[in-house]
Amino acid sequence: MTSDVARVNSTRELQVSFDQIKTTTPLHDLGEVREDWSGILSPMYADDDVTRYIHAQFLEDASHYVERYQAVPYWTSLLRSALNRIPNQRPEMILDVGSGAGNTIFALLELCPDASIVASDLSAPLLKSLKDFYDQQYAGKGDCTIVQLNAEDLVFEQDQFDLVVGGAILHHLFDPTLTLTQCYKVLKPGGCAIFFEPFEIGYQLLAIAIKHVLQRNPDRPSDARLSEDVERFFTALVKDIDVRKGSDKSAEIFQRIDDKWLFTQQFFESAARAIGFAGTEIYPIHGSESQFSNQMKSFMQLGLHSDINVAPAWAIETFVEMDGQFSRDLLPELIIEGCIILKK
């Protein structure tokens, strides 16, 4: 889209209420920009406003991203567990932030079939994938409005939603506290926000184990060493974890990468208190037993499209040993991927 379009005072301007939900800025139909984006609403961002926040994997490479990460049953399971922790919650109005191609949207349509859902993401290509699948499989079966939206600048009036959901969105942002603050604003009193995010403590423990494997690798017999692909992947994974630690995201590299954050429990607890949330609950989404070996299996599947058994047995055992290294009391605190529930 062009900056000229962003400034056009369209004759098809939509001040959308979604029946009950009101916006603070006019929205337009993206069909004005590209016919195949019709039905996606937007404040009409300039190109620079989009590419400042997201890059190729969410734009021109969006179809590959969808093929790699689409996993609706997995997200349905995660959301079902999270919703079970919120007593007496039957949300009527739901805002999904960072919807991508619809992992959490299609989960919510199954789990909350009577709710009105707003799906939002900054990537129009990902939202097109979401809309195409919704039109094919869910038209007439659920109420979902699709909006191109910057997660750091929500455009809804206050006290609009019963539930806000963000599936792996906050770690992509320059300032997650902006999104948390606006989620608080748009939630009704008593409403909840649910996020699923990576945590530094678990990732750093995994990085230590991976470094140990890499250090031991040259001393192994030639037929028991890591393959070049696995060694290269492990090395890149350690580097990625190292770059993302800490809360200072001012380095130039963060202008170029999409995965920026690994969080701490203190970050969410402090931010929630400062913003005004009444309660915070954080728990590991994969359980605490076997979470290190299971996470490595997931990394191998996503990063190499391979089973963990492409690594030699001695390397796999290193990650299995991690699961037995800590007491049952401590393991739930060593979160790798966690769910955060914030209550207004």
Q: CA angle 268-273-276, nearest 5°?
A: 120
Identify whether the C-beta of residue 295 lies closer than 8 Å to the C-beta of residue 337.
Answer: yes
- DSSP assignment of 103-171, as one string? HHHHHHHHH-TTSEEEEEES-HHHHHHHHHHHHHHTTTTSEEEEEE--TTS--B-SS-EEEEEEES-GG
Q: Which pTM value belongs to this model?
A: 0.93
Identify whether the C-beta of residue 102 lies closer than 8 Å to the C-beta of residue 134.
Answer: yes
The per-residue pLDDT for 10 is 42
With a CB cutoff of 8 Å and minimum separation 6, the contacts of 33 are 1, 5, 44
User: In terms of residues, how long is the chain?
Assistant: 344
Place of tokens 């403590």: 201
Burial of 282 (0-12, 13-18, 19+ CB in 10 A): buried
Annotate 188-254 with three-state secondary structure.
Answer: EEEEEEEEEEEEHHHHHHHHHHHHHHHHHHHHCCHHHCCCHHHHHHHHHHHHHHHHHCCCCCCCHHH
Where helices occur in 256-325 by DSSP H, the ranges are 265-275, 291-304, 313-323
Distances from the Cα of 112 to the Cα of 82, 140, 142, 162, 163, angstroms? 13, 15, 9, 12, 11
**% residues pLDDT > 70 (the chain):** 95
- The one-character DSSP state at 321 is H
The per-residue pLDDT for 17 is 58
- The one-character DSSP state at 26 is -
Q: What domains can you pick out in the chain, each with its CATH number?
A: 3-198 (3.40.50.150), 200-261+288-334 (no CATH)
Q: Which two tokens stand for residue 183?
A: 């989620």
With a CB cutoff of 8 Å and minimum separation 6, the contacts of 278 are 343, 344
Identify whether the C-beta of residue 292 lies closer than 8 Å to the C-beta of residue 319.
Answer: yes
Distances from the Cα of 242 to the Cα of 57, 237, 259, 335, angstroms? 21, 9, 12, 17
Q: How far apart are CA 87 and CA 279, in angstroms?
A: 13
- The one-character DSSP state at 36 is G
SS3 324: coil
- Ranges in the chain, pLDDT < 70: 1-18
